[in-house]
Amino acid sequence: MVGVFQIHPSIWGRQISNAGLPAATPGSPEDPTLSATVSVAWIPVGDGGDAGRQVVEVRGLTAGALASLSELVKAGSAWHRFLAVYAESGDELTIDPLMPSMAGTYALTQGVLRFVPAFPPSPGVRYRAVLRREAFPPGSLPADGVTLTATHREPSVASHPTTLVSRIAPSSKVVPENLLKFYVHFSAPMSRGHIYDHIRLRTAKGDVVELPFLEIDEELWNPEMTRLTLFLDPGRIKRGVKPLEEIGPSLEEGHRYTLVIDRGWRDAAGQPLKAAFEKVFEVGPPDREPPDPKRWAIHPPHARGREALTLNFPEPMDDALTRRLLRVVGEGVPVPEGRAELASEERQWLFIPDVPWVAGNYQLLVGSTLEDLAGNNPGKPFEVDLFEGVQRRLSNEMIRLPFVVR
Amino acid sequence: MKTLLSTVVLTCAALSATAVVQPDPNWFAGFQEGTPALKSASKLAFGPEGILFIADTKAAAVVAVATGDTQLAGASKLVKVEGVNLKVAALLGTTPDEILIEDMAVNPVSRQIYLAVARGRGPSSTPAVIRVGADLAPVLVSLEKVRFSRADLPDAPVDAPPKEGQRGGNPRLESITDIAFLENRLLIAGLSNEEFASTLRAIPFPFKTVANGSSVEIYHGAHGRFETRSPIRTFVPFNVGDQPHLLAAYTCTPLVQFPIKDIQPGAKIKGKTIAELGNRNRPLDMIVYEKGGKEYLLLANSSRGVMKVTTDKIETLDAIGEPVKDGATRGIAYETLAGWTGVDQLDRLDAGNALVLRQAGGGSLNLESLALP
């Protein structure tokens, strides 16, 4: 490679002297054969949330070298001309002059030049601090041939594949042709970037469906990155738009498909999945009917018991929205703490209290952005037939389902 | 700069079509000195006087930072930074596969380039803002002890009932998919990871305390007879005649325009579909520019390259009223630009050049200026 010089591994981390310093850190071994006084060393600092941070300290600089650095302080010039840190991940130690050195802050205090990297070290990456001889006045550093460098290698995180796809919603074996989304749940946090390379939709014949999903760089994760929302391409769901006209829907009624998540997808620790995952499902007719709350059946629990409050839907509902958009309020009676669950392939919502119910009047509130599997909202279909038919919707609209606990 | 959805809910508490731009506003009203605690840097946009807006999806917030970058930085020249992602990785002290470049914006005053970057790919990734100046060397923009102002966005849609009596963290996250500053407002597009009704907010700037306020819904028509909802991928403010509009590129392929003056609390807006760009059209970014007295639109597209759209007929164009068939493209004319391949990010560098972030093979990304066609 043009303009790249290599340093033989045998002189990594050589220091001139470590007098007065803490014990040499791993990766920066002393070399007792050298007698000069300048040292470059990695020093562990920080604790708590800052644990594992490392800084570079240069000690034993001569008066001439310090004077040069002091001038630098006044001029606000580029510190990295004197001391630069490079991150290296390959097998060979290289300095590519086209590559910037690592960002961080420099300080000169009581004769010690200190570099604090802007970021903590990454696992498996080697960091090399280089004191640049050529930037200092002649004679202010030890003789030529002495390499003023120190390396720190952040240990790799030893791990093996353990993460799995834990479930995919909807869980029903039959989905509408105009299914809007899948939720892919993982057993541990995952990583971003090129995720769609690992997701395939296959027909019963084994053919791969072309571009069935909405692929967006933002990648729709939950904050913990254990759940990915995978929208079907809306251009292939909506009637009258060009992609649907040209290549048809992603899913076709009467056909069977397999959603495949391959093993190559890496989790947040950089490991591939422990196993691939396949979800086989069949496609039923499109659902263009908005959910009708009048057809939802609420089953109130009994007072003084810890029976679940249940709400039954005549069709499977969106997994995430149904878990989030329902809540119980009491009319002058306390609502017990508890947990919500979905059952019967997302056709049943249950609220299981921690403490017994108190007799009284309650309401189950349902947010109007609740969706069925095809993105239809209560009282409002996914596709509106003619704009003039769009009813004005108030933003704080809520569906109220009263019930009595006796 | 990227996405949003078609039942666009506009939060417009202080938003009014009659809002008048102050003659000499103090853009820094409400700014404080300190370190804005960013959880992510998802999208970037420049406002007046070197103010950089950083959209933080993880924190559901937008931070306005006074960069002080208000002078033209050196003579305007062509840009080519090879392997910019490799250089950013080196600067941030990590490996290139741990770097994601989320967005790119050019400061229109200084012409310096800013990149929003994630260091790390998992949930604990760290945001960074990188500046590429006239010397083309990337540097880390320090966000310590800066003057900034912050607007927190509501974490959930206005009609989502809050949790009560139920445990568990909220898994909902609204990705901020595009932002743009227009006159005295910041337009923020969002795409939820749950409900299919994303938001477009217009927040007055300088930021004030903004309640959720009322909302409007914007439908885009002309899918035959069906008015439907679909994600907008990216949008750009654009004048039609002398009226400010938004041009929005939808994932389901139409290019839709709607007047910004129509965005009023409680309103129900119908956007006009002005082009159907067809299958495999996956819009990424849009810019507007003028050449030879005419205005054009460039639309970067993940699978079809960069499209140049002629806009001079937008004012008089009828909305597309029927489905488009037989592979034809309806509405305004466009051409796909030869040579503009692998473009991931697009912005305007100066009057004569676009800036692109493009794939250069082997996982390398180049930052390049290209003459506006």
- The partner residues of B81 in beta bridges, in order of sequence, read B367
Per-residue pLDDT, A322: 95
Q: Where are the alpha helices (DSSP H) in B28-169?
A: 84-91
Compare CB distances from B159 to A240, A369, A383 and report the shortest one's residue: A369
DSSP annotation of A100: P
Enter the tokens of residue A75: 């001029």
- Is there a contact between A269 and A261 (Cβ–Cβ < 8 Å)? no
Q: What angle (nearest 5°) sits at the alpha carbon of residue B93, between those of residues B92 and B95?
A: 100
Q: Which residue ranges make up each domain of chain A?
A: 5-153, 165-284, 293-405
Whether residue A299 is predicted with pLDDT greater than 80 in this model: the reply is: yes
Stretch A279-298: mean pLDDT: 95
Size of interface A-B (CB pairs under 8 A): 276
Pick the CATH number of A5-153 from 2.40.128, 2.60.40, 3.30.70, 1.20.1630: 2.60.40
The distance of B22 to chain A (nearest Cα, Å) reads 30
* Residue B245 falls inside a structural domain: yes
CB atoms B165 and A328 under 8 Å = yes
B90: containing domain = 4-18+29-155+173-371
Identify the band that residue A243 occupies on the pLDDT scale cut at 50, 70 and 90.
low
Domain count, chain B: 1
Amino acid sitting at position B153: L
The residue count for chain A: 406
Per-residue pLDDT, A111: 87
Residue B278 at interface with chain A, using a CB cutoff of 8 Å: yes
| Cα A327 from Cα A378, distance rounded (Å) | 16
- Is there a contact between A162 and A149 (Cβ–Cβ < 8 Å)? no
* Residue B160 falls inside a structural domain: no
Compare CB distances from B159 to A241, A368, A371 and report the shortest one's residue: A368
Residue B91 at interface with chain A, using a CB cutoff of 8 Å: yes
Per-residue pLDDT, B365: 96
CB atoms A240 and B163 under 8 Å = no
The distance of B26 to chain A (nearest Cα, Å) reads 31
Best of A2, A55, A238, A396 to substitute, by most chain B Cβ atoms within 10 angstroms, is A238
End-to-end CA distance of chain B: 21
Identify the band that residue A318 occupies on the pLDDT scale cut at 50, 70 and 90.
very high
User: What are the backbone angles phi and psi of residue B212, rounded to the nearest 5°?
Assistant: -60, -40
Whether the domain at A5-153 and the domain at A165-284 fall into the same CATH topology: yes
- Domain A293-405 indexed as CATH 2.60.120.200: no
* 373 residues of chain B, pLDDT tens digit each: 433 333 333 333 333 334 445 556 899 999 999 999 999 999 999 999 999 999 999 998 999 999 999 998 776 678 999 999 999 999 999 999 999 999 999 999 999 999 999 999 999 999 999 999 888 999 999 999 999 999 987 654 444 444 444 445 678 887 888 889 988 888 888 788 887 765 677 788 898 755 433 344 555 554 444 555 566 678 888 887 788 888 887 766 677 787 877 766 555 667 777 777 766 667 888 999 999 988 898 988 877 789 898 887 776 666 555 544 444 455 677 888 988 999 999 999 999 999 999 999 888 999 999 999 9
* Residue B336 falls inside a structural domain: yes
Q: Please report the residues numbered 237 through 276 in chain B whose beta carbons come closer than 8 angstroms to any beta carbon of chain A.
A: 251-254, 266, 268, 270, 276
Residue B123 at interface with chain A, using a CB cutoff of 8 Å: yes
CB atoms A218 and B175 under 8 Å = yes
Spatial CB neighbours of A58, under 8 Å, sequence gap ≥ 6 = A38, A39, A40, A83, A112, A113, A114, A131
* Residue B193 falls inside a structural domain: yes
CB atoms A127 and B93 under 8 Å = yes
Per-residue pLDDT, B175: 82
Identify the band that residue A23 occupies on the pLDDT scale cut at 50, 70 and 90.
very low
| B305 against A94, higher pLDDT | B305
Per-residue pLDDT, B186: 86
Report the relative pairing of strands B8-11 and B199-204 from DSSP bridges: parallel
Q: Tell the burial category of A404 from Cβ atoms under 10 Å away from its Cβ (0-12, 13-18, 19+).
A: exposed
CATH of residue B335's domain is: 2.120.10
The pLDDT tens digits for B67-103 are 999 998 776 678 999 999 999 999 999 999 999 999 9
CB atoms A214 and B231 under 8 Å = yes
Identify the band that residue A233 occupies on the pLDDT scale cut at 50, 70 and 90.
confident
Stretch A89-94: mean pLDDT: 62
Q: Which of A57, A53, A47 is nearest to A22 (CA)?
A: A57
Stretch A177-187: mean pLDDT: 96
- Domain A165-284 indexed as CATH 1.20.200.10: no
Residue B159 at interface with chain A, using a CB cutoff of 8 Å: yes
* Residue B167 falls inside a structural domain: no
* Residue B211 falls inside a structural domain: yes
Compare CB distances from A387 to B57, B90, B221 and report the shortest one's residue: B221
* Residue B163 falls inside a structural domain: no
The distance of A21 to chain B (nearest Cα, Å) reads 25
Best of A324, A328, A368 to substitute, by most chain B Cβ atoms within 10 angstroms, is A324
The distance of A369 to chain B (nearest Cα, Å) reads 6
Q: What is the pTM of this model?
A: 0.86
Q: Which of B243, B267, B283, B234 is nearest to B12 (CA)?
A: B267
